[in-house]
Amino acid sequence: MARYTGPKDKLSRKYGELLSGMPTFEVAKRPYKSGQHGQRRTKLSEFGILLKEKQKLRESYGVLSEKQFRKYVERATRKNGPTGEILLQLLESRLDSLVYRMGFAPTVSAARQLVGHGHVLVNGYKVDIPSYAVRAGDVISLTPNAQKMTLVTEATKNWIETLAYIKRDKKEFSAQFVEVPAREAIPVNVNERMIVEFYSR
């Protein structure tokens, strides 16, 4: 399944909630699918429920094709520990995800664009691969040109203290990925056990 590139508000309305990394549209006012049949009640099968939860996680990180997502699941399965939690930790450690979490971009898609265009540094070196796996202790910063971009200045205008696993330096437009977060620290509203069950069928 290819990556969805259509209107982001449709995704949030489809799942009835604002997905992580999505811009705020009308999901609170119209928490149902778009289109003339969007308010119809539908009863999902067990498979449909599992599929919906899996798709929610994919769309929350916004950049994964089904093939890429399955690779993350396989990597999580090979590691010791709760597969669902490890899966979320792997996704949260992506460079584009952290650029978004650090407040350098308003959405995950914008963060992915910043990375892809070479505006992001990891430990002082340019990295333009959105899926790059950031390690605990790594410092992420923006190039001087990126610091002047409207997208960045607007995103950082109202910076507040963020997540415990991120330590920011506002003056330097940099932030450290302090540690790989535990499940309860990751702000994604999904049931990861259902996703593991989906792939174990």
Domain count, the chain: 2
Residue 12: inside a domain, yes or no?
yes
Residues 38 and 79 placed together within one structural domain of the fold: yes
85 and 157 inside one domain: no
- Cα–Cα distance for residue pair 201/192, rounded to 1 Å: 15
Q: Has this prediction a pTM greater than 0.85? A: no
Tell me: do 65 and 119 sit in the same domain.
Answer: no
CA proximity to 61, closest of 31, 23, 91: 91
Domain membership of residue 110 (yes or no) is yes
Tokens (6 digits) for 122: 């990891």
Residue-wise pLDDT for 86-99, tens only, equals: 999 999 999 999 99
**CATH code of residue 161:** 3.10.290.10
Residue 3 lies in a domain: no
Residue 194 lies in a domain: yes
Q: Are residues 168 and 193 in the same domain?
A: no
Q: Is 61 domain-assigned?
A: yes
For residue 150, give its domain range: 94-179
pLDDT in tens, 42-89: 677 888 888 888 888 888 887 578 899 999 999 999 999 999 999 999
